Structure 1
Amino acid sequence: MSSKRHLRWAAVPVGAATAVALAGCTPQEQHGFLPGFTEDGQPATNHTDMVGALWVNSWIVLLIVGVITWGLMLWAGIAYRRRKGQTGLPVQMRYNMPIEIFYTIVPLILVAGFFTFTARDQEALETQYEDPDVSIIATGKQWAWDFEYLGTEADGSDSVWTMGVQVEADENGNRVESELPTLVLPVNKTVKLQLESRDVIHSFWIIDFLYKKDMYIGHENYWSFTPTREGSYAGKCAELCGEYHSMMLFNVEVVSEAEYEEYLASLEALGQTGPIQDEYDRLQNPPGVGAPAAKEEETH
């Protein structure tokens, strides 16, 4: 039997084994072990699948290029190694136009391809909803978050809000994350976040949503998306913003529409209505000293 026929027969089990291995991948493995997907593959937002696909497909292309490159290097190292009895330098080959054209065109195609798909997905991610179901102002400050849920009035009189403090530590030095600022979102409703900063540059990052955006003082940034799965998610500042940057955390709760409306009503019942005022520009409560409200109670 010829060597070519041997190769053909060898390719059959190799191909079958590869197909079986790929079919057995879990949703997490199929999405490159990225967060934001459950065991059944359900994404956290309407954009999560797209970001995951860009990540995975980019790595597949890079792996193919890497395998070809490593194979050529190995082949050249074996085929052109110095044999016993050989002396001097081997015959040098220069100005091989076909090879030089190949090495120029292929990288250009790769770069153009990566740019095209990245620009396409970025355009979708950066397209803002004109009439979202929910509009929220998320404000970063050293070192916590405020969330203002906008109503329909232009002056913000029917808005409700929560003010957060950065994570505190218990007596054992462990972070008490249950007291973190919480952003509540309704599932399957269009959301538009207006991102602002009160002091320095921050970065708003919900990890499972696979996207983050910077926040600048004096400049408004926006992010539109639709949460597609109820659950709890972790958020944090992704831009070094000062001494307690690592404690600038927040929680995200994606709930049903009824639970969302109930939450807004609870904030209204607490009197947390209208726009957040300028006197709350700075947090002024380093870790270990408690929230501003607690300090005011102690002084009375």
Structure 2
Amino acid sequence: MAITRASLVRATTLILLFPILASCGMIEDNEFTRVGFPEPATKEGPGIIELWQGFWIVAIAVGLLVIGLLVFASIKFRRRSDDEVPAQVRYNIPIEILYTVVPLIIVLALFGFTAREQTKLTALTNEYTHVVNVVGFRWSWAFNYVDEGVYGTGTPGVVPTLYLPVDEKVRFELTSPDVLHSFWIPSFLFKMDIVPGAINRFELTPDKEGSFVGKCAELCGQDHARMLFNVKVVSRAEYNQYISGLRAKGQTGMLPPGILPKNETTTNAGAN
């Protein structure tokens, strides 16, 4: 069955319109512009969204260009009769240089923007007001509120809750006593590995009150799927009330942070 120009145009149109048509039923608020990411719940989140959007713009542009070239070649150079033999082209130096250099520039540009955003996200400052030592262990989590001198913990059967005050920068210090884990709060758009024998640190500022879900994102053994925790971003008054509740329960001091580097400890107190 012969492929006509009209059928090629129709097929190409459907291919190009499919992502748009498929997403029409999923658009809610600005969900479409986030391209599948959750609404960011930290002040650092919008920068990650912008980076993600940039990658999508480049990917769509490259995809449309490639599909357009395929359609163009299929139509212009299609076989028109049984006797016709197309011209044989061995190489074209300028074109080969072009399709080697342009992808290299695109990859280097994407790498540069990613490195810039990663540097900003992982930079440590003296502007934090709280320090939370997150201890990932098989198969749950412990949260040492370093400045307040209290802790909360969970078990595989009891999901722990991490409380954070809204609009206050928090330094997270990740440690483990056993194997590799990964601390991930999807709505914070940030994930960092927890490595025994190391202290991994980062700082974020939650800016939306609410409840969020966290989990381990590193396959760490039999009960990896049960390594869940909740996050509650609350007002300063509610945060203080929660801390007082932990003291009333006798959950004072710090749980062992796990395996630490030689001559290194977790931060004793937040900066003023």
TM-score category, normalised to shorter length: 0.7 to 0.9
State the superposition RMSD in angstroms. 2.0
**Tell me, which stretches of 5 or more residues in structure 2 are unaligned?**
1-19, 260-272
Query: Residue 63 of structure 1 corresponds to which residue in structure 2?
Result: 60
Query: Residue 128 of structure 1 corresponds to which residue in structure 2?
Result: 124
Map 1:3-152 onto structure 2 (within 5 A).
26-35=29-38, 37=39, 43-88=40-85, 90-151=86-147
In 1, Cα distance between the equivalents of 2:121 and 2:151?
26
Q: Do residues 263 (structure 1) and 242 (structure 2) align?
A: yes
In 2, Cα distance between the equivalents of 1:232 and 1:25?
20
Off by >4 Å, runs of 4+ in structure 1? none
Number of residue pairs the alignment of both structures matches: 235
Shift of residue 98 of structure 1? 1.7
Shift of residue 53 of structure 1? 1.3
Shift of residue 87 of structure 1? 4.1
In 1, Cα distance between the equivalents of 2:28 and 2:95?
38
Any idea what the Cα deviations from partners look like across 1:177-236, whole Å, max 9, x if unmatched? xx4101000000000000011100000000111110000111110121100000000000
In 1, Cα distance between the equivalents of 2:197 and 2:50?
35
Structure 1 length normalisation: TM-score? 0.74
Any idea what the Cα deviations from partners look like across 1:220-260, whole Å, max 9, x if unmatched? 10121100000000000000111110001000000001111
In 2, Cα distance between the equivalents of 1:231 and 1:93?
63
**Tell me, which stretches of 5 or more residues in structure 1 are unaligned?**
1-17, 38-42, 152-157, 169-178, 282-300
Pick one of 245, 254, 257 that aligns with 1:275: 254
Structure 2 length normalisation: TM-score? 0.82
In 1, Cα distance between the equivalents of 2:28 and 2:255?
48
Letter in 1 for 2:164: L
SS, match of residue 268 in structure 1: helix
Query: Residue 175 of structure 1 corresponds to which residue in structure 2?
Result: none
Query: Residue 155 of structure 2 corresponds to which residue in structure 1?
Result: 165
In 1, Cα distance between the equivalents of 2:256 and 2:230?
23
Any idea what the Cα deviations from partners look like across 1:121-149, whole Å, max 9, x if unmatched? 10111112324101010000000000000
Letter in 2 for 1:57: G
In 1, Cα distance between the equivalents of 2:191 and 2:66?
34
